[in-house]
Amino acid sequence: MKKKRVGLFTLVAVTLAIVVAVLKDFSLVDVPDQVMMMVRWALALVLVFYAYTRKNLTTWILVCMALGIFVGIDYPHVAIALQPLSKGFIKLVKVIVGPILFATLVYGIAGHNDLKQVGRMGWKSLVYFYSATTIALFIGLAAINISRAGVGVDISHIPQHELPKPPVDAADATMLEQLPEGIHWLYKTLSFFRNIFPENIAKAIYDAQVLQIVIFSVLFGIGLAMLDEKKKKPLLDFCESLAETMFKFTNLIMYFAPIGVGAAMAYTVGHMGVDILKNLFMLVATLYVALIAFLLLVLLPIALYLRIPIMKFVNAIKEPVSIAFATTSSDAALPKAMSAMEKFGVPRKIVSFVIPTGYSFNLDGTTLYLSLASIFVAQAAGMHLSFGQQLLIVFTLMISSKGVAAIPRASLIILIATADQFGLPTFIIAAILGVDELMDMARTSVNVIGNCLATVVIAKWEGEFNEHADETQTV
């Protein structure tokens, strides 16, 4: 009851602060700047007290985001000085790239790619996963090109030495000079494919070359899967243990997320002004519209075509989806999602294969976000990417997104690595951190919806879906 009263008081305080801000912005009431500052910091105290009573990481992240905005508005120089905290958080995330990609992909392939055991479910699941996630990538690409949410972001005051320069290979430059201009595209495309193969896996991990890590991990996983059980088990157990350790490691890093997010938002507002938030919230709106479009234009037609009872399906998944939305973690929703699909009529042998595999290969919401956010970064940096360059980014994400862990904000790992791969300015991602919590809620929910639907699709495809499952059971 005490929490409800605190929540109601906080809601009233936020509403009053918004009303005062709107009245001032539209010049309806002449509110002195000193009064607005007092209102902001009174609200800050209320929000901190609310976060303290909730004792919830998600709440702290949202509250620190608001505090970052207030610091950026009222103390811009202090806000700029906080930048090392946000950069430190990004460095903590980047250090996970190599180990988590290697462990999840090797374990996923070597542990689940025995076609003698899983039969037709193996290729059917992969066909469905890649089809759904590829469509999601292109919907994200279309959405950001239509909304152009990143266009107009003023980065002129940001020191240009922060912009990472893509490496220029001297041999490639010499070769291009010798070739006619009309054939440059072919050489550059083939060079891209050449560069995805690692010559030194340690160097690839050090440089966060995500595609090289993925290629090595896939080949390693296939090689491991070909061994007999006695020789395979020690390495498989090691990869499983490494993956679980990296999940826990990431969860530990996320306790630093409120500070990293708050510092990122403070630096963004302090350095660029509060107008930058308009572009960021345009990014959030673009993502939500794109995810809704994916649900209505892709997943709903699939469900209708297969004659899946829509309302029964919605009732079955509402609890795991609500868990995913609240925690921004697909992993947190896993047990409920599996039990819900069993009670919905999907055999256990299909549920136990499709959902865990889908957590590596079928994250629809995350893959859509990655294509959308990558182009947003380029737009914000004023970099014009041709359609061909955007397709290369989509192709990269098509592969690298399959290694995204089903944990809060793990997509940042792939986003940062992809930005590095294509010479996109990663410092803009620090600005995205300020609203990433809002986006993570939606994309994680879509991830869970997509994986739950995938179990029904495979069960229908296999002819093993139980149409007469007990509808009176509650999940």
Query: What's the predicted TM-score (pTM) here?
Result: 0.63
Higher pLDDT, 165 or 297: 297
Does the pLDDT value for residue 302 go beyond 90?
A: yes
Read off the DSSP letter of residue 199.
S
pLDDT bucket at 419, cuts 50 / 70 / 90: confident
CB within 8 A of 61, min separation 6: which ones?
A: 257, 258, 261, 437
Does the pLDDT value for residue 50 go beyond 80?
A: yes
Check residue 328 and give its pLDDT.
67
Does the pLDDT value for residue 192 go beyond 70?
A: no
Highest mean pLDDT among 232-246, 393-407, 414-428: 232-246
Does the pLDDT value for residue 470 go beyond 90?
A: no
Spans of all domains in the chain: 2-82, 87-462
Check residue 185 and give its pLDDT.
67
- Burial of residue 275 (number of CB atoms within 10 Å: 0-12, 13-18, 19+): exposed
Dump pLDDT digits (tens) for 319-345.
888 777 766 666 667 767 888 888 898
Interatomic CA distance for residues 207 and 136, integer angstroms:
28
Read off the DSSP letter of residue 308.
-
Check residue 22 and give its pLDDT.
64
Does the pLDDT value for residue 142 go beyond 70?
A: yes
Average pLDDT, the chain: 78
Place of tokens 């290697």: 102
pLDDT bucket at 296, cuts 50 / 70 / 90: very high
pLDDT bucket at 169, cuts 50 / 70 / 90: low
Lowest mean pLDDT among 252-256, 294-298, 370-374: 252-256
Does the pLDDT value for residue 189 go beyond 80?
A: no
Higher pLDDT, 158 or 145: 145
Check residue 264 and give its pLDDT.
79
The third-level CATH classification (topology) of the domain covering 87-462 is Proton glutamate symport protein (1.10.3860)
Lowest mean pLDDT among 15-19, 156-160, 212-216, 220-224: 156-160
The stretch 189-201 carries a mean pLDDT of 78
Q: CB of 465 within 8 A of CB of 343?
A: no
The stretch 170-192 carries a mean pLDDT of 75
Q: How many CA atoms lie within 13 A of 374 on its CB side?
A: 35
Dump pLDDT digits (tens) for 78-122.
888 888 888 787 777 777 767 877 887 787 677 755 545 555 677
Read off the DSSP letter of residue 295.
I
pLDDT bucket at 3, cuts 50 / 70 / 90: low
The stretch 15-31 carries a mean pLDDT of 70
Q: What is the DSSP string of 60-76?
A: HHHHHHHHHHHHHHH-H
Q: Which residue in 350, 369, 357 sits closest to 445, CA to CA?
A: 369
Highest mean pLDDT among 114-123, 242-251, 342-351, 447-456: 447-456
- The size of the chain, in residues, is 475
Place of tokens 């956010």: 373
Interatomic CA distance for residues 437 and 473, integer angstroms:
34
Check residue 176 and give its pLDDT.
74
Check residue 304 and give its pLDDT.
93
Place of tokens 């809002």: 438
